[in-house]
């Protein structure tokens, strides 16, 4: 997958996130808008890794660093999976970048 393909999925609202990400959002560490903003503002895929769980459509996970809604660097790791409606981007983890 290219960054543009991932950005398109997120822009269309075709994404979901792990319980870990959901928990961080419920605790107020960041918002869904921060996830969206990070992907939209990214200029490259920082790293591509093997998906050990083999649940992604291409066998890969993507580390993407962009900016959150405050303009601070923000880290996400996710993968592209399929559901009944087609492909979607699944956020595995996310946090402020170091």
Domains in the chain: boundaries: 3-96
Dihedral sign, Cα of residue 76, residue 77, residue 81, residue 84: negative
pLDDT in tens for each of the 98 residues of the chain?
Answer: 999 999 999 999 999 999 999 999 999 999 999 999 999 999 999 999 999 999 999 999 999 999 999 999 999 999 999 999 999 999 999 999 97
The model carries a pTM of 0.94
The pLDDT score that the predictor gives to residue 98 is: 78
Dihedral sign, Cα of residue 48, residue 79, residue 68, residue 7: positive
Task: Match 């959901």 to its residue by tokens.
Answer: 22
CA-CA distance, 5 to 77, in Å (whole number)? 15
CA-CA distance, 44 to 85, in Å (whole number)? 27
Fold of 3-96: YaeB-like fold (3.30.2310)
The pLDDT score that the predictor gives to residue 17 is: 97
């Amino acid at each position: 997958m290219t960054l543009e393909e991932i950005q398109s999925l997120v822009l269309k609202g075709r994404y979901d996130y792990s319980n870990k990400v959901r928990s961080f959002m419920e605790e107020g560490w960041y918002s869904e808008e921060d996830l969206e903003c990070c992907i939209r503002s990214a200029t490259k895929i920082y790293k591509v890794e093997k998906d050990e769980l083999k649940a992604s459509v291409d066998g890969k996970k993507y580390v993407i660093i962009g900016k959150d809604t405050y303009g601070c660097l923000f880290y996400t790791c996710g993968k592209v999976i399929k559901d009944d409606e087609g492909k979607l981007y699944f956020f595995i983890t996310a946090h402020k970048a170091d």
